[in-house]
Structure 1
């Protein structure tokens, strides 16, 4: 078992064991009261608010909040993300017993809030929001709200709401003065849900709501509010609403978790648990990385006086291999020409590539001949060279202990495309690695059972006989879980490319989710290529080819991918079903700024439909990624079915953030409100943009401060 395999296994185990500790250490600074000041909270909908009503404050930038609340036959589970300091978004999954006198309703909905005015000495904070923007309309409502801190421990909130938030104590819409169309609220034909109805927003009767919060102690916050929500369809069948007033007490368990108990609408007790983490704050700020080796300076004047080195390259190679391996780096290729030493390395350990470059440079300072005064360090992925960073040896020796040494190193360094291969060193190929560890396969938002999951063991093996040629296989064995209890036959009128996923969970025994052969290559400068064949993912097998154009210092990258695939048997072994399809996309990737990315994919999907997927992601220097996507194809809402179109969230958590130990492993998941067949894209391992972007110049500059770590 390789060092990387052992590290991956340990990291996965650490994910399961260390999350409670990590989240205690990863402190969202405004989640709790600070220095006796008021704490900000989430309301029962999982958005910034008082008890059931919204408020005008925002959470800390980048905070991820998770909430669960139960009262009077209603349960809401929600997640919220503070996308920017002013913009927040939330997703909730709710169950309402006897909704409108019928059965239990399971509902999914989205909310957005934008704070357009900051609080000042005489001015309140103000925000505007839309609830249930893409849902069935059960929680549809809009609002404008203001919050003002009156004293160090007292805050007041007041607002005006429409839709559901304008259903109690209603009056004529003041926006009717602008246009008569605002006076009435059109009835929305929500159909299968998942559609926009901007013609409803801020239309119809309006109502006022208000709230007050008092920070009794540093941990205890008391709240009271007047609600403008009449709970029209729940009042009676679900619970009896006797009063518009709500009262609650929130206790801050620690700096990441709070519990809130309340008495709502004069008849119902409520209980809410809130939990928050922030990707911007490292769980282990100092990290648990082993100490780097020191820079070894040359004798004074030795470098300039020395002649070009003419020794045996194998001697230098034999010295570099173990020294780099000790730093979690593998030497793949090397060339020494005059006073320049060039190496190609595989980074097996560090999530931030500049850390790998910095450690490799220090190893070179101790092993390179004194005549060498320039180091060229090439980063590779699957033996495919990506970028080359050229450094001056004198700079390493001069700036190791300089207060801004990293910045000075970068100012004098050159980062360029690594076109062309260096001569491979001996003994690298063939190489084989494997690891075994746990896997978690969740399935959420099934209308019959909101949360299902399987837990088991996964064995992964990689074999690379030649540079760029990679064979990969995975075998899984379920240990426990309830995914096999799903029994909701698909009603899709499209080919069942995803909606029969529940059938793939029914089979027992070992499964093979992936078994592929892939070749990675560089067709030319700024170009990357991939060809993959085999069992590409749990549901499809076939061939996939991809070409990516991605210049080193460009915000824009362009890609093209084509696949010919056939559906796999439900046992995820070697059987194939009859359905075949050609699918592929043209992709544009654009880096909006250092942390925000967007991607547009246009092409043909697995069900044979044509359309586009638009994605937005926020990527943090420590490896966290949080994103949202939406897909619209030529499949109508009626043909698509429940949800109207495909959409969801993507989250990727670096395991090093949890454990504090350097690793390139991460845990990624996609959260979809509903899994249907329209807009379904093939899952292909190691798509090129995600593979190479972290090693390119624009990303290296983003976290260059880790060069000296």
Structure 2
């Protein structure tokens, strides 16, 4: 499993509160111990879980993108089975990767229970694959669950499959040990079993108790494991150590202890840290200054706009009673906050000749959107003389358009900027076990013009255990990704990127970009991208085309022999329930053709949960274990995690395997993300920040 990581802390947030307990099962996902329940965590919940019930050690991540949908990625170590021959993996235990889904079909009412349909191990090898239908009903401090399961959860096979009445094929279940396919041919097949249990919330708020009856008799365990079950009844307890940490313990199978820990947080209900390191917003004066626009010290205003509102000012202009500030936002993730701070600065600087402040946001000189704030209404709202809704109704967000204006100030460009930080890479799931690297990274950018720039990065190894990295996965395709070991171990100092880029607005809603150089750690080349993103629409279409050549393993300036043409046409659209979809069709790095479907949910604060799957012309034999590319990801604005404002994001991606099929170019710049501020939804959903 590849993990691209930026530090996210799940910090304790205080003592427990009296509320219905929703805790994680041994497998991950809301449940009892071995069995799931119909309960769902609140939307926006993230849980990281670890449990041990010999011979299984399970590690999982569960995401709740909607109140009715739960997804989990799980990694299981079967500790009494080896990954392979000693020559391949030493004493590493067998590792299994899986994806689970659970969907609520009916929400609990006074008389009716919660009802959910679930699929365990839908995207892995199928060692623990199962399908289930489960219901929950709460009575005071007791939460009862009961369900029917096929596959692993129902391995006891208590009775004939009722679906066999419709079709004889449902009476038997095919062998579940596959190679990563979505095994739809096995769904709801074989003899099922009943399962259920109860959770009791004790009078002591941090403690809840569990009792379950499971439908697995452990006579058909993966890898021919012989496991003895003395009782189908399991007992457990969960201690809520803090709001973010749960400790669990249990007695399972009548003879085996279970221990577990869950770290969890909710990115919707949690409050972002106070921005104690941000400069305070300027106070509004009792009266507007007497300085006319053509007499203002605009150089000073420009400096204040940069330091306090995050705008790297390009120019300031006037059209009648409207003042325009053209610039690039570099600091505030929430544009409403930046607009409000800039409006305060402008209100402090110019007389009553100006009635409107318009902030024109640009990105690499691409004019994206202009936000116009009525000055008088803004003052009244900040001074608590009018409600925020009055300003919300009168503030306008439009596509940036050319205007006939008088230029008051033009700023000198500061072409060079740089940054330093720590990087972390991790690879897990192969016969080499857990592999990691900690690095010191330095990135820099030089702008020859406002829309032509060079960017690059140097990375120096600080600590790693890649000396254990000996396994190159088999592949029937050109090795565009499975040479990962060589790229990670050849040099302690690498140059992941070194490229030149140029962006243009080609028409009102059409953007273009060309680029060339060392585009990512494994490939160099040249390419171009266009994006049509119409104003006020919830869809866009883009296309990119690239000629690339493989880089030397030391990630210096050298190139290898392999080259290819790769590119995609991508459609983006908004779907119901605040869901976004991106569908790409094209040619991948290994010269296979196919489609990638990406579905995600973005919350009001910018946190995004998503998943993708890629199917290509590569055959199962060519692709190898996993058979197709898939994964889940979490994207979190650092603004939600830090005590200072920033536009950076933490991106965490869980992908079960590194394979060559379906591999895309990992470019640093994409027009769709560069033009995201054209979507005004985020501005209006966080409009209250305009007064901060």
- Shorter-chain TM band: over 0.9
Q: How does 1:54-69 map to 2 (within 5 A)?
A: 54-69=36-51
Are 1:320 and 1:331, in contact at CA under 8 Å, matched by a contact in 2? no
Deviations 1:569-601 (A, max 9, x none): 100111110111111111111122573211011
Tell whether 2:263 aligns with 1:279.
Answer: no
- Which whole-Å CA distance do the structure 2 matches of 1:483 and 1:379 have between them? 44
Tell whether 2:682 aligns with 1:699.
Answer: yes
- Root mean square deviation of aligned Cα: 2.6
SS of alignment partner, residue 320 of structure 1: helix
Q: 1:646 aligns with which of 617, 623, 629?
A: 629
Are 1:431 and 1:465, in contact at CA under 8 Å, matched by a contact in 2? yes
Tell whether 2:337 aligns with 1:355.
Answer: yes
Tell whether 2:203 aligns with 1:214.
Answer: no
Question: 1:267, CA displacement in angstroms?
Answer: 1.9
Question: 1:231, CA displacement in angstroms?
Answer: 2.2
Are 1:192 and 1:638, in contact at CA under 8 Å, matched by a contact in 2? no
SS of alignment partner, residue 182 of structure 1: helix
Question: 1:281, CA displacement in angstroms?
Answer: 3.0
Which 5+ residue runs of structure 2 have no aligned equivalent?
A: 86-92
Are 1:33 and 1:39, in contact at CA under 8 Å, matched by a contact in 2? no
Tell whether 2:30 aligns with 1:41.
Answer: no
Q: How does 1:548-567 map to 2 (within 5 A)?
A: 548-567=531-550
Q: 1:263 aligns with which of 226, 251, 259?
A: 251
Q: Could you say if the C-alpha distance between residues 66 and 656 of structure 1 is closer, same or farther in structure 2, counting changes exceeding 3 Å?
A: same
- Which whole-Å CA distance do the structure 2 matches of 1:344 and 1:540 have between them? 36
Q: Could you say if the C-alpha distance between residues 503 and 330 of structure 1 is closer, same or farther in structure 2, counting changes exceeding 3 Å?
A: same
Which 5+ residue runs of structure 1 have no aligned equivalent?
A: 1-12
Q: Which moved more, 1:691-700 or 1:223-232?
A: 691-700
- Which whole-Å CA distance do the structure 2 matches of 1:74 and 1:490 have between them? 24
Are 1:144 and 1:159, in contact at CA under 8 Å, matched by a contact in 2? yes
Question: 1:493, CA displacement in angstroms?
Answer: 1.4
Q: How does 1:429-468 map to 2 (within 5 A)?
A: 429-449=413-433, 451-468=434-451
- Which whole-Å CA distance do the structure 2 matches of 1:254 and 1:110 have between them? 28
Q: Could you say if the C-alpha distance between residues 202 and 72 of structure 1 is closer, same or farther in structure 2, counting changes exceeding 3 Å?
A: same
Q: 2:144 aligns with which of 156, 169, 179?
A: 156
Are 1:350 and 1:356, in contact at CA under 8 Å, matched by a contact in 2? yes
Are 1:115 and 1:126, in contact at CA under 8 Å, matched by a contact in 2? yes
Deviations 1:444-476 (A, max 9, x none): 222331x22100211111111311111111111
Q: 2:238 aligns with which of 250, 258, 262?
A: 250
Are 2:356 and 2:372, in contact at CA under 8 Å, matched by a contact in 1? yes
- Which whole-Å CA distance do the structure 2 matches of 1:551 and 1:345 have between them? 22
SS of alignment partner, residue 700 of structure 1: helix
SS of alignment partner, residue 537 of structure 2: coil
Q: How does 1:178-577 map to 2 (within 5 A)?
A: 178-187=166-175, 191-193=178-180, 195-216=181-202, 217-234=204-221, 237=225, 239-284=227-272, 286-288=274-276, 289-296=278-285, 311=294, 315-327=296-308, 328-402=310-384, 405-420=387-402, 426-449=410-433, 451-577=434-560
Question: 1:34, CA displacement in angstroms?
Answer: 4.0
Are 2:359 and 2:370, in contact at CA under 8 Å, matched by a contact in 1? yes
Are 2:358 and 2:370, in contact at CA under 8 Å, matched by a contact in 1? yes
Question: 1:75, CA displacement in angstroms?
Answer: 0.8
Aligned to 2:88: none
Are 2:130 and 2:151, in contact at CA under 8 Å, matched by a contact in 1? yes
Q: Which moved more, 1:592-601 or 1:609-618?
A: 592-601
SS of alignment partner, residue 659 of structure 1: coil
Q: 2:161 aligns with which of 150, 169, 173?
A: 173
- Which whole-Å CA distance do the structure 2 matches of 1:161 and 1:501 have between them? 40
- Which whole-Å CA distance do the structure 2 matches of 1:444 and 1:187 have between them? 27
- Which whole-Å CA distance do the structure 2 matches of 1:77 and 1:515 have between them? 37
Tell whether 2:109 aligns with 1:123.
Answer: no
Question: 1:395, CA displacement in angstroms?
Answer: 2.1
- Which whole-Å CA distance do the structure 2 matches of 1:110 and 1:613 have between them? 18
Question: 1:424, CA displacement in angstroms?
Answer: 10
Q: 2:69 aligns with which of 83, 87, 94?
A: 87
Are 1:439 and 1:457, in contact at CA under 8 Å, matched by a contact in 2? yes
Report how many residues are paired: 675
- Which whole-Å CA distance do the structure 2 matches of 1:562 and 1:572 have between them? 23
- Which whole-Å CA distance do the structure 2 matches of 1:285 and 1:100 have between them? 45
Are 2:516 and 2:527, in contact at CA under 8 Å, matched by a contact in 1? yes
Deviations 1:303-344 (A, max 9, x none): xxx9xx6836xx542232122123132211222233222111
Aligned to 1:5: none
Q: Could you say if the C-alpha distance between residues 282 and 351 of structure 1 is closer, same or farther in structure 2, counting changes exceeding 3 Å?
A: farther
Aligned to 1:112: 101
- Which whole-Å CA distance do the structure 2 matches of 1:404 and 1:519 have between them? 45
Q: Which moved more, 1:468-477 or 1:392-401?
A: 392-401
- Which whole-Å CA distance do the structure 1 matches of 2:142 and 2:178 have between them? 44
Question: 1:38, CA displacement in angstroms?
Answer: 4.0
- Which whole-Å CA distance do the structure 2 matches of 1:91 and 1:199 have between them? 22
SS of alignment partner, residue 429 of structure 2: strand
- Which whole-Å CA distance do the structure 2 matches of 1:662 and 1:606 have between them? 37
- Which whole-Å CA distance do the structure 2 matches of 1:558 and 1:660 have between them? 37
SS of alignment partner, residue 303 of structure 2: helix
Question: 1:295, CA displacement in angstroms?
Answer: 3.4
Q: Which moved more, 1:399-408 or 1:552-561?
A: 399-408
- Which whole-Å CA distance do the structure 2 matches of 1:247 and 1:258 have between them? 17
Q: 1:144 aligns with which of 133, 150, 160?
A: 133
Deviations 1:496-518 (A, max 9, x none): 10011111111233211011111
- Which whole-Å CA distance do the structure 2 matches of 1:168 and 1:452 have between them? 38
TM-score, structure 2 length as denominator?
0.92
TM-score, structure 1 length as denominator?
0.90
Are 1:552 and 1:698, in contact at CA under 8 Å, matched by a contact in 2? no
Q: Which moved more, 1:97-106 or 1:636-645?
A: 97-106
Q: Could you say if the C-alpha distance between residues 403 and 139 of structure 1 is closer, same or farther in structure 2, counting changes exceeding 3 Å?
A: farther
Q: Which moved more, 1:486-495 or 1:473-482?
A: 486-495
Are 1:297 and 1:365, in contact at CA under 8 Å, matched by a contact in 2? no
Are 1:215 and 1:222, in contact at CA under 8 Å, matched by a contact in 2? yes
Question: 1:404, CA displacement in angstroms?
Answer: 6.5
Q: Could you say if the C-alpha distance between residues 197 and 544 of structure 1 is closer, same or farther in structure 2, counting changes exceeding 3 Å?
A: same
Q: Could you say if the C-alpha distance between residues 396 and 33 of structure 1 is closer, same or farther in structure 2, counting changes exceeding 3 Å?
A: closer
- Which whole-Å CA distance do the structure 2 matches of 1:293 and 1:101 have between them? 62
Question: 1:386, CA displacement in angstroms?
Answer: 0.9
Q: Could you say if the C-alpha distance between residues 413 and 249 of structure 1 is closer, same or farther in structure 2, counting changes exceeding 3 Å?
A: closer
- Which whole-Å CA distance do the structure 1 matches of 2:240 and 2:607 have between them? 26
Tell whether 2:568 aligns with 1:581.
Answer: no
Q: 1:601 aligns with which of 568, 577, 584?
A: 584
Question: 1:489, CA displacement in angstroms?
Answer: 2.0
Tell whether 2:70 aligns with 1:74.
Answer: no
